[in-house]
């Protein structure tokens, strides 16, 4: 009963912060604050001393792993649905390539030579991709909240979609390369939209419901759900079928923000050994993970923006570099995927969780009110 009480209190904390900060914070920012501050305090200040429950006890119930798997599969499918909106343009490519490659190389270098621990090649690739990722939903919400010009919003969003598409695709192929046969069933399942199209079935729900069901099934069978999700979305784009969520947008957001995201974040944080966090190499790793991903991403984005539009002012390029550094929900999903596959340890997970919070808050801290006026003047049509 005490375990259930802990989980209910944790979910209530996420809900409370979501309600109180609803008008001030983008949902993922409040969720990251609860995960990085409130959940550790709840564990160390209440569950362990008073309930005599360790993190292992809280993760032990039989329902936790299936609930985590279901939430993760639904959330991963929702994130991958952004792929269908990808539109390539020269400016989009010029922004995306440096913004993707420079953090990727910085992450590979950190994994191989800087961070404590021995990481294999797939772990190093995963860490590099975590440095490169941009959160599309959070970026879109932030740009909306500061009334950013539509032309600039579209350009930044499509660059972010391309970067995330490269991240997910590269990791899916790298993961599948060690077991090529494991790609067969996901790729075959991904052709389902083509079969529906041949049968002249056009209702959007006939395409979205099987997508989420297959995501859950492939994840539970430990098959490559990531490759399936990307290939499925590419097939939908090929037949020009819009992606429709199985629930209305409001109910879907309540499900994701009220249950799926809190459950995923809490499970991840409970795997961290907070009693061993005082070791010198732990603090060194956290310091590296707070600084290097942000600096490398800002540098890569600045170079990409300069390449795409060299006549833009340095201030605009600096501001948009910070915007492309937003991590948020996409980073959390990728982070939990690596933790689930045991490609990173819990200490690295917690350091990157803090980095995700820091980089998502950074544009607001650096002055969100400064964006619209300069950006609007840049995109005014005379």
**What is the model's pLDDT at position 381?**
37
Query: How far from chain centre, in Å, is Cα 179?
Result: 25
**pTM recorded for the entire structure:** 0.84
**What is the model's pLDDT at position 118?**
83
Helix/strand/coil for 341: coil
Q: Tokens in use for 240?
A: 């020009």
**What is the model's pLDDT at position 378?**
46
**What is the model's pLDDT at position 331?**
86
H helices within the chain, ranges in order? 2-20, 27-33, 39-42, 55-59, 64-80, 90-109, 121-132, 136-145, 150-177, 184-190, 192-198, 205-220, 225-238, 249-255, 261-270, 280-308, 314-324, 328-340, 346-365, 370-379
Helix/strand/coil for 26: coil
**What is the model's pLDDT at position 141?**
73
User: Which of 328-367 are b and which e, b meaning 16 or more Cβ less than 10 Å from the residue's Cβ?
Assistant: bbbbbbbbbbbbbeebbbbbbbbbbbbbbbbbbbbbbeee
List of the chain residues with pLDDT < 70: 1, 22-24, 145, 178, 181, 276-281, 364, 366-382
């Amino acid at each position: 009963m005490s375990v259930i009480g802990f989980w209910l209190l944790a979910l209530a904390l996420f809900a409370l912060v979501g309600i109180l900060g609803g008008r001030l914070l983008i949902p993922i920012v409040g969720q990251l604050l609860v995960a990085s501050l409130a959940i550790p305090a709840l564990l160390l200040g209440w569950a362990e001393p008073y309930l005599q429950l360790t993190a292992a006890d809280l993760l032990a119930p039989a329902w936790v792993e299936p609930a985590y798997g279901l939430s993760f599969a639904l959330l991963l499918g929702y994130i991958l649905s952004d792929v269908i909106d990808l539109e390539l343009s020269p400016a989009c490519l010029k922004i995306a390539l440096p913004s993707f490659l420079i953090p990727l190389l910085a992450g590979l270098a950190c994994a191989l030579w800087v961070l404590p621990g021995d990481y294999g090649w797939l772990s190093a690739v995963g860490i590099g991709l975590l440095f490169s990722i941009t959160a599309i939903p959070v970026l879109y919400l932030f740009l909306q909240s500061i009334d950013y010009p539509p032309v600039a919003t579209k350009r930044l969003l499509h660059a972010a979609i391309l970067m995330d598409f490269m991240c997910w695709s590269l990791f899916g192929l790298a993961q599948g390369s060690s077991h090529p046969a494991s790609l067969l069933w996901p790729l075959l399942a991904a052709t389902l939209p083509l079969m529906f199209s041949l049968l002249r079935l056009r209702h959007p729900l006939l395409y979205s419901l099987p997508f989420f069901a297959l995501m859950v099934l492939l994840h539970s069978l430990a098959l490559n759900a990531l490759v399936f999700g990307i290939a499925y979305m590419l097939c939908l784009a090929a037949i020009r079928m819009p992606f429709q969520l199985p629930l209305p947008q409001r109910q879907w957001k309540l499900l994701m923000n009220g249950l799926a995201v809190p459950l995923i974040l809490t499970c991840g944080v409970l795997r961290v050994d907070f009693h061993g966090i005082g070791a010198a190499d732990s603090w060194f790793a956290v310091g590296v993970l707070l600084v290097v991903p942000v600096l490398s991403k800002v540098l890569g984005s600045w170079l990409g923006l300069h390449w795409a539009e060299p006549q833009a002012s340095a201030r605009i390029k600096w501001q948009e570099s910070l915007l492309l550094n937003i991590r948020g929900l996409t980073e959390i999903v990728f982070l939990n995927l690596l933790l689930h596959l045991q490609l990173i340890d819990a200490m690295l997970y917690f350091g990157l969780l803090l980095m995700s919070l820091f980089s998502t808050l950074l544009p607001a801290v650096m002055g969100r009110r400064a964006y619209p006026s300069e950006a609007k003047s840049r995109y005014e049509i005379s």
